[in-house]
Structure 1
Amino acid sequence: MLRKLSFLVLSLPVFLFALGNAPASAAESQPVISSHDNATLVTDRDAVAAGDTLHVGLRLQLKPGWHTYWLNAGDAGEPPTLKVTASGAMTGQSETINFPTPVRISEGGLMSYAYTGDVLLPQALKLEGQAGGVTLKAHAEWLVCAATCVPEQGDFTLDLPAGKVAANSSAEGPLFVHAAQASPVPSPFAASLAPDGLLSLSGKGLSPASIDRAWFMPSETGIIDQVAAQKLGVSEGGLTLKLNWIDAAHKPTVLSGIVVLQDKAGQQTALWIKTSQMAAAQSAPAGPAPAEAALWRMLVFAFLGGLILNLMPCVFPVLAMKAFSLARLGGSHRHEQIRSALAYTTGVMGSFAALGVAMIVLRSVGSAAGWGFQFQSPIFVIGVAWLLVMMALNLLGVFEVTLGRIGQDVTPRHGVWGDMLTGLLAVIVATPCTAPFMGAAIAAALGGPAWAGLALFLAMGFGLASPYVAIATIPFLARHMPKPGAWMAVLKQALAFPLLGTAVWLFWVACVQRGAMILPVGLGGAVGLGLVAWLFGTTQRQAMIKGATPAVVFGRVVAVVVLVLAGISLARIDNGVAANAPVDAKAETGVVAYSPERLAALRDEGKPVFIDMTAAWCITCMVNERVALQSAPVQKAFEAQGMTYMKGDWTNRDESISAFLRAHGRDGVPLYVYYAPHKEGVVLPQILTVSGVLDAIK
């Protein structure tokens, strides 16, 4: 009772200060004000003397509904930073925040450790030098979140004169007293951690009579499942909490953080613990460590995802080309078949490796790059469309790919480089699709060590290439490939049309991204490339008959000029076309555009919500919509349940959609989540069926 009374007495000036809206004293800087909070730099005294340890802090007065974060932000968020430098007669520098105990905020399947209301993040600043006044300069960065998250920052200046005053003597002193009382204290109990995640405290004072609830908040994220229930066990002199390791995460030998003990009256005590070195499990069965087992499981998922990717609609045009390659090799020797398979596999796996490295690097610098991110660039989309047009013209016989020069060998070549190029193209056109098992594998690749991520991307690449490898290397399959013949010329020309159809789809995607004004650039460039292909093919045939004549040279020069002009127009797309608004698609009946605020409001109202995260360049998404979501039974079920059908369009980059994908362990579309009234979301498979959707929403 005495402790509570003293706390109220010490806190009274703080509340009077807030209620009275008094002007800032000499121990509080000018505020940085936003619509979410007021931020100031405060000190625990109005004057300083030589040798003082000055307590300074970032004070955040958060508006209702907003919060900022602890040392470990949890599953989402970033911890605040504060760097304070003293100059003048005395100097000093500090950037270590003594974080008070946070509260837990669980929402949408995520756990955050945060602060709300009026919070002080204090530091201790040791002053050195001769007696005299000091000037404090501070830079702080913090993240505030409600339905959305807003990064904020501020620079603060505070002048303190020379003088000998007691600690906590300023008007802001009670803030520091309150922060100290709200901070965890070193645990008097011995702490240990078992390999299975059982956290144990032992010592006098622990008993079922004194402890009603307890929970642990780790100082580092990415170690335990922070949302999972922590089963509590209490006995005389002992306490245990069962923690759940995150799959594919490194299992620590030492764990630190805050254990909060709550008695039956609701009184809480926060203890800072650091476990002793983890003992080896004496009775653990032989086998790989959990992290290694999880990595092997993810590698299997990655391989299966790449294998199933061969069945996705976006890969069909390239698979058609591989079918032609297989037919061409039907009468070849085994060593040529194997060489072709290895070249194609090298192209696929090399492309996956490059794509994986790009995504890992972009993630490391804070970008929200996910699977298929390159298709969010209209330059890339138009470039791939032009490449497909050129390959279609090649299949139609307009020109041939050769390795010779004018007047020399111009015989068409379909060797190692052609197979590698086909592998590269397969990966490029496959990225708009996401196959089953790929979502978990990609999330693990981008969330773990870089070497493990690269291994997972290589496994996906090998899965995509494996059917061709099997056909070319297994003698039984190789012997039963069809023999080459005149029919191949017809097949070759027929396969050009799937490529042209894919190019048409990509031009439509670019139109969705940048508006109708991009079509003259895209289609005009395609016509120009057709001219290049025709000139190149014509000069090829003339060179075979007459050699390097002036007409041949002139035709090649014109082709090069047109290619350069096409490249320049492609590079200027963002500068010349980006200003045009995208095509405003007519609002779909019964579809609500995704926003975090709208989703939170609907869930608060207890309404069922079906989330469809999609993109115009995602063929799997469009197939799912046409086959399942737009079917009469599903639409009738949505209407009967009063379902809100919410769609997030990731065709262009959208940070709120990227955050939603990451929160559900995905790094690409499609993603389908069903929220029943007042319940957490249920993630549906990436390939939808009518019966699957109906079963999920029941």
Structure 2
Amino acid sequence: MCPITGRLAARLPFLMLVLLCLAALAQPLCAQEDDGLLPVTAAYRLSADASTPGVLKLHWEIAPDYYLYRGRMKFKPAEGVTLGEAAFPDGERHHDEYLGDVEIYHHAIDASVPYTVAPGTTRLRLGVQFQGCHEVDPKICYPPHTEQLDLPLPPTGTVGARPGSLGAALQQLGSSSRTGGSDVPLPAEQAFRLDALAQDPHHLLLRWTMPPGYYLYRDQTKLHLRDGRGLTLTPRWPAGTRKDDPHFGSVTVYFNELDLPVAVGGDLAGRTRLTLETSFQGCEDGGLCYPVMTRALDVDLANATPATGTPAMAAPEAPPVSAQGPLQTSLWAALLLALGGGLVLNLMPCVLPVLSIKAVGLLESGESPARARAHALAYTAGVLASFVALGLGILALRSAGHALGWGTQLQQPLLVGGLALVMLAVGLSMSGLVQFGASLGNTGAGLAARGGAAGDFFTGVLAVVVASPCTAPFMGSALAYAFAAPAASALMVFVALGLGLALPFLMVGFVPALARRLPRPGRWMETLKQLLAFPMYLSAAWLAWVLANQRGADAIGLLLVSAVFLALTLWWFERSRGRAGLVRAPVLLALLATAVPLYGLAQLPTPVRAAQADTGVVAYSPEKLAELRASGTPVFVDMTADWCVTCKANEHTVLDTAAFRALLLRTGAVYMKGDWTDVNPTIAAFLEQYHSPGVPLYVVFPRGGGAGRKLPTVLTSSLVARALTEAAR
């Protein structure tokens, strides 16, 4: 490496980069993107009136562009309650693609259900199940939804309470599961409905459903297992809404609906059921705050059925998964795959910017065998240290319940902005506009060599950071093994990846025959170094584009302000070279001013993404996938991210082509895409289900049901055509 580049990292904010990585990994998860559909309880508002003895009156308010099926309404009484035949008005005739000729309702519907109760019964308890659809784009049908009603029975002989009386207010309090505008707060059981199911023995899903205007506190929610010795619960909280609360200050709350994945750790051998106790607290917005509520849920692990004693939650059917899991690979096979994946990673486009620095270092290492070995060892130390740190961070945060994987650090705007500035600074140095690490004088060859080693070490760190958007062949299986294996084995896989990435540099340093084949150093290398600065500028531009997709135009404005202050820092650094320390003090102030806008990036909200412009692409949701599979439609699922270079390469060469669109038409398949640019718990659960350490992930679901087929991370047109053709049979 040349003196300029060799001393590059001695003054670069190396510690700042490391802190950026750690801070980005520790940030809370972000919310899912909204598809514009109403929650089921907002699309169909159900209210109930039991003020007339022996008759339950039901009323649904149906939102525009939604409808309810008449034939999908069912009633399940609690013990002590007997229901008669429900009376419905005639509906509109409608031919349904899946159900045939049916009757549906728009706008509103009134129904009545006769009932009798056993002696001593004081409350009318029953479940009301209904199902409906959204009839304009995006056209979807909701799974069957159940509301649990718990209504006070009127005294015998009364027809109803006088309007405006206390009795009428009490009837109103218990009469509706979704009043949507009543001045009287709902009972706690109706304001905060809790369901639970087991997706598999080690993964539960809790769902709170609240009417409009009610919210749930995140930090006041606690989970506990009865007789759960040796078991642990790890919730994966989605991002909520920040609220200035008069009781707790600035808190995170959830409106309308909260889906909370919970991982169950420990040995579940012999257990077929779990009893989950949860305590939580919530409020009516601008009104009553409820005391802490505690509920127990009995979860069936064997059949993955909804919890008993609560409203039945219509969860989407989990797609079948191939029996092949990550730990079916042996440790030695995983290490070989990791070594090969790290070696191939050198050829991926994401590592190209760092290859610019490595190329200059390789050429200069021809000065002597000892210098070549020093370059190789320092660079390898930086790569290995970074892979071990990255592995430890990912494994620690995943064990704490966070959905992290390969490349997920680039989901954090703070790190993306920081990397863009680092790329810009490195590019300016390679262009000769600024020189880092130059001393006040010649302090000896030992100190100069020390600075060169620091530069090589930093180059290795940077190579690992910028390599994360790429997933090379062989890497997927190795990383999947690492994320499921014990910690010691997982770290060995990360070390093998690092060795593969550093292997070409090590071979040049320790195999003299290879080193002798390198061109001899000369003046032409300065021109080459300046030319290789432009990939660094392109990387900074690409990172700015990723940041714009994550946080919008405001983020680009903050990044540009930070870049201006960085330019000021570097300009003053060069102007003050060789002067007294007091003259150089403004450099630190300018560097601090550079970091301030970066902090602002972490505070920006996630923008609402526009709807898909391409009508041939369906946004991923578990419900939509279950609906398509139930109808016998083959589905091609693409999990991608804006920062994933491998994803973009596959899209450019295979998925965004006329040939792929023609293939979809020929096979009748649906192209479904999930965007993991920001942290998304729903997509993270899908990745985990298919043992994928990150994106890209491609899964093809066949027409006749059965397990989804996972495709390689690097696609070809022939591979995709063969998979979809087989799925359509």
- The one of 620, 643, 647 equivalent to 2:646 is 620
Q: Report the AA paired with residue 661 of structure 2.
A: Q
Instruction: Report the CA distance between 1:572 and its aligned residue.
Output: 2.2
TM-aligned CA deviation for residue 68 of structure 1:
2.4
Structure with the greater relative contact order (CA < 8 A, sep ≥ 6): 1 or 2?
A: 2
Which of 668, 681, 696 is the matching residue for 1:670?
696
Q: What is the deviation of 1:643?
A: 2.4
Task: State the SS of the aligned residue for 1:319.
Answer: helix
For residue 530 of structure 2, the aligned residue among 461, 476, 493 is: 493
Deviation digits for residues 47-89 of structure 1 (CA, Å, limit 9, x no counterpart): xxxxxxxxxxxxx99xxxx86249xx43643799xxxxxxxxx
1:633 Cα shift?
1.7
Alignment of 1:347 with 2:382, yes or no, is yes
SS in 1 for 2:576: helix
Q: Which 10-residue stretch deviates more, 635-644 or 596-605?
A: 635-644
State the alpha-carbon separation in 2 of the partners of residues 499 and 303 from structure 1: 27
1-structure distance, mates of 2:450, 2:534: 22
* Of 634, 637, 661, the match for 2:663: 637
Paired with 1:18 and 1:363, the residues of 2 have a C-alpha distance of: 49
Match of 1:659 in 2: 685
Asked if residue 505 in structure 1 is aligned to residue 538 in structure 2, the reply is no
Larger Rg: 1
* Distance in 1, Cα, partners of 2:350 & 2:507: 22
Aligned residue type for 2:711: L
Distance 2:697 2:274 in 1: 42
User: What aligned pairs does 1:130-169 form with structure 2 within 5 A after superposition?
Assistant: 139-140=277-278, 155-156=293-294
Residue by residue, what CA displacement relative to the aligned partner does 1:400-433 show, whole Å, maximum 9, x if unpaired?
Answer: 2216358978979861110000000000001111
State whether residues 301 and 440 of structure 1, in contact with CA within 8 Å, keep that contact through their aligned partners in structure 2: yes
Letter matched to residue 327 of structure 2: A
Of 485, 493, 497, the match for 1:460: 497
The yes-or-no answer on 1:310 pairing with 2:346 is yes
Deviations 1:633-662 (A, max 9, x none): 222111222321111110001011101111
- 1:167 maps to which residue? none
Aligned residue pair count: 476
1:683 to 692, 701, 710: 710
Aligned to 2:331: 295
Q: What secondary structure, in the 3-state scheme, does the structure 1 residue paired with 2:539 have?
A: helix
1:330 CA displacement: 1.6
Measured after TM superposition, the shift of residue 331 of structure 1 is 2.4
Amino acid at match of 1:299: L
Residue 692 of structure 2 aligns to a residue whose secondary structure is coil
Q: Distance in 2 between matches of 1:518 and 1:590?
A: 30
- SS of residue paired to 2:586: helix
Alpha-carbon displacement from aligned partner over 1:204-234 (angstroms, at most 9, x marks no partner): xxxxxxxxxxxxxxxxxxxxxx9899xxxxx
- Contact 1:352 1:457 (C-alpha < 8 Å) held by counterparts: yes
Note if contact 2:82-2:117 (Cα within 8 Å) is conserved in structure 1: yes
Pairwise CA distance, 1:339: 1.5
Q: Give the letter aligned to residue 469 of structure 2.
A: P
The corresponding residue for 2:632 is 606
Q: Which residue of 2 aligns with 1:96?
A: 227
Picking from 245, 248, 255, the partner of 2:327 is: 248
Q: For the Cα contact (< 8 Å) 1:614–1:648, is it kept in 2?
A: yes
Shift of 1:369: 1.0
Structure-1 separation of matches of 2:623 and 2:119: 35
Contact 1:404 1:411 in 2 (8 A): no
1:327-346 mapped onto 2 (5 Å cutoff): 327-332=363-368, 334-346=369-381
Unmatched segments (≥5 aa) in structure 1 = 1-12, 41-59, 81-92, 99-111, 113-119, 124-137, 143-152, 159-175, 183-225, 230-243, 250-292
Q: Say if 1:349 and 1:462, in contact at 8 Å, map to a contact too.
A: yes
Question: CA 1:68 to 1:94, structure 2 compared with 1: closer, same or farther past 3 Å?
Answer: closer
Secondary structure of the residue aligned to 2:327 is: coil
Once the 2 structures are TM-superposed, how far is the Cα of residue 529 of structure 1 from its aligned partner? 1.1
The match for 2:398 is 363
Q: Residues 521 and 459 (structure 1 numbering): CA distance in 2 closer, same or farther, change over 3 Å?
A: same
- In the alignment, the residues of structure 2 paired with residue 347 and residue 519 of structure 1 have an alpha-carbon distance, to the nearest angstrom, of 30
The answer to whether the Cα contact below 8 Å between 2:80 and 2:118 also exists between their aligned partners in 1 is no
CA contact (8 A) 2:508 2:515 kept: yes
Aligned residues of 2:196 and 2:206 also touching (Cα < 8 A): no
SS at match of 1:329: helix
Is residue 2:466 matched to residue 1:422? no
CA distance in 2, matches of 1:434, 1:676: 26
- After TM superposition, give the deviation of residue 33 of structure 1 in Å: 13
Q: Establish whether residue 321 from structure 1 lines up as the match of residue 357 from structure 2.
A: yes
Change (3 A) 1:612 1:139: closer
Write the letter of the residue equivalent to 1:590.
Answer: G
Distance 1:157 1:463, change over 3 A: closer
| Displacement of 1:569 | 1.6
Question: Where do 1:19-168 residues align within 5 Å?
Answer: 68-69=197-198, 73-74=200-201, 76-77=203-204, 95-96=226-227, 139-140=277-278, 155-156=293-294
Deviations along 1:246-267, whole A, 9 cap, x unmatched?
A: 6637xxxxxxxxxxxxxxxxxx
Partners of 1:389 and 1:503 within 8 A in 2: yes
My pick for the range that moved more, 580-589 or 307-316, is 580-589
> Aligned letter for 1:398?
L
Return the offset for 1:625.
0.3
Alignment of 1:116-265 (within 5 A): 139-140=277-278, 155-156=293-294, 248=327
- C-alpha separation between the residues in 2 aligned to 1:405 and 1:37? 76
What is the deviation of 1:440?
Answer: 1.8
2:366 maps to a residue whose letter is: G
- Say whether residues 1:693 and 2:726 are aligned partners: no
Instruction: Select between 470-479 and 530-539 the one with higher mean Cα deviation.
Output: 530-539
Residue of 420, 430, 439 corresponding to 1:385? 420
1:394 aligned partner, one-letter code: S
Q: Using the alignment, how far apart are the partners of 1:507 and 1:38 within structure 2? A: 49
Contact 2:699 2:711 in 1 (8 A): yes
Q: What is the alpha-carbon distance in structure 2 between the residues aligned to residue 24 and residue 140 of structure 1?
A: 33
Q: 1:563 aligns with which of 591, 594, 603?
A: 591
| Aligned CA distance change for structure 1 residues 25 and 685 (closer, same or farther; 3 Å) | farther
Output one character per residue of 1:497-529: Cα deviation in whole Å (capped at 9) or x when no partner: 001001001001111000111111112211221
* 2:213 corresponding residue in structure 1: none
Q: Which amino acid aligns with 1:320?
A: S
CA spacing shift, 1:75–1:488, aligned 2, 3 Å? same
Q: TM-score, normalised by structure 2?
A: 0.58
Q: What residue identity is the alignment partner of 1:319?
A: L
Q: Aligned residue for 2:514?
A: 477
Contact 1:511–1:582 under 8 Å retained in 2: no
Q: Alpha carbons of 1:77 and 1:492: their partners in 2 closer, same or farther (altered >3 Å)?
A: same
Establish whether residue 574 from structure 1 lines up as the match of residue 602 from structure 2.
yes
Contact 2:342 2:497 in 1 (8 A): yes
Whether contact under 8 Å (2:356, 2:529) holds in the other structure is: no
In structure 2, do the counterparts of structure 1 residues 39 and 520 end up closer, same or farther at CA, with 3 Å as the change threshold?
A: same
Contact 1:621–1:669 under 8 Å retained in 2: yes
Rounded to whole Å, the distance in 2 between the matches of 1:380 and 1:666 is 23
The unaligned stretches of length 5 or more in structure 2 are 1-76, 84-114, 130-144, 151-188, 208-223, 230-263, 265-271, 281-290, 304-318
Q: Superposed, which structure 2 residues align to 1:523-542 within 5 Å? A: 523-540=560-577
Query: Conserved in 2, the CA contact under 8 Å of 1:471 and 1:478?
Result: yes
Q: Cα gap change, 1:67/1:521 in structure 2, threshold over 3 Å: closer, same or farther? A: closer
**Cα distance between partner residues in 2 of 1:675 and 1:69:** 23
- TM-score normalised per structure 1: 0.61
Distance 1:228 1:620, change over 3 A: closer
Q: Is the 8 A contact 1:403 1:413 kept in 2?
A: no
